[in-house]
Structure 1
Amino acid sequence: MDTAELVSEEEDIRESLTIILSTIPGERVMDPEFGCDIHHHVFEEMSFTVINHLKEDIRKAVLNYEPRVDLTGLEVGVNEDHDARLDIILEYKVRATNSRSNMVYPFYVNEGTNISFE
């Protein structure tokens, strides 16, 4: 495997993780279980309990739908600049190469703020 293939594989993994976190279970007709159930937490007040539920939903989704990685760290916190956004920070190890990587997924818990109907 050359360097270009490794980079392409890592980009593919990032895209896969984004798709998993963005997809609501039931959204895919042919695979209704696919996705991550974090979207039912939209509009909830963020508490320690809710954040732990989010983390558990994320861990299960990554375990079930991205077999190329091992999740090594997971943080969920309110973004300092946007209080309606949680930053989900995934740290993972790519199994094939044993390389470590991370990504930040922005999750908006209060969708539709500052909308103007003019």
Structure 2
Amino acid sequence: MSAGDRLELLGRGQGLPLFPLEGGRMARVEGPEKVRQSIFIILDTEPGERVMLPEFGCGLRRFLMQPNNGATRAQIEREVRLALQRWEPRIQLEQVDVLPGADAALIQIDVQYLHVYSGRRDSLVYPFYLE
């Protein structure tokens, strides 16, 4: 499989957030950045938000106002892992860590993954406020 074929499998589409570039065109992303945006969309979406796919999403908002302790972080880790395994077939999860942030209400969700089609390792940190 050529590099172009692998890039095609990773996808391409509208960049988010939507904003016009010079000349009025919309920003587009492809490859690993498209996968990264997809992960953020999964984590940002609550089940029930999408009319045509009501089970899509992670459901992190149900943890709002929960204590920032080990039990809450373990539940969040489980939900993130399940959502990404279900909704993002272009990655293989290597590790999900949910760590306390600098603020008492902040957690940092550290996602480490492998791009299935290229073998490239990648990671991202998703900040989430419990309050």
Where on the TM-score scale, by shorter chain, does this alignment land: which range? 0.7 to 0.9
2:97 corresponds, among 75, 80, 84, to 75
Tell me, in whole angstroms, the C-alpha distance in 2 between the residues paired with 1:91 and 1:102: 4
Q: 1:18 aligns with which of 10, 16, 40?
A: 40
1:96 to 110, 117, 124: 117
* SS of match in other structure, 1:102: strand
The alignment yields a C-alpha RMSD, in angstroms, of 1.5
* Structure 2 residue identity aligned to 1:90: V
Q: Would the aligned equivalents of 2:98 and 2:110 in 1 still touch at CA under 8 Å?
A: yes
What CA deviation, in whole Å up to 9, does each residue of 1:17-50 have, x standing for no partner? 0000000000101100000022100110122211
| Pair 1:107 & 2:128 matched | yes
5+ residue gaps, structure 2, are: 11-28
Provide, for residues 40-63 of structure 1, a one-character-per-residue CA deviation record: whole Å limited to 9, x for no partner.
Answer: 001101222111110110011001
TM-score by length of 1: 0.85
Work out the CA distance in 1 between the residues paired with 2:101 and 2:78.
20
Normalised by the length of structure 2, the TM-score is 0.77
Count of residue pairs brought into register by the alignment: 107
Residue number in structure 1 paired with 2:57: 35
Match of 2:23 in 1: none
- What SS does structure 2 have at the residue aligned with 1:30? coil
Cα deviation code 1:76-113 (max 9, x no counterpart): 11212x22211100000000001100001011111xxx
Structure 1 runs not aligned, ≥5 long: 111-118
- Cα deviation, residue 8, structure 1: 2.7
Identity over aligned pairs, percent: 34
Question: C-alpha distance in 2, partners of 1:83/1:14?
Answer: 27
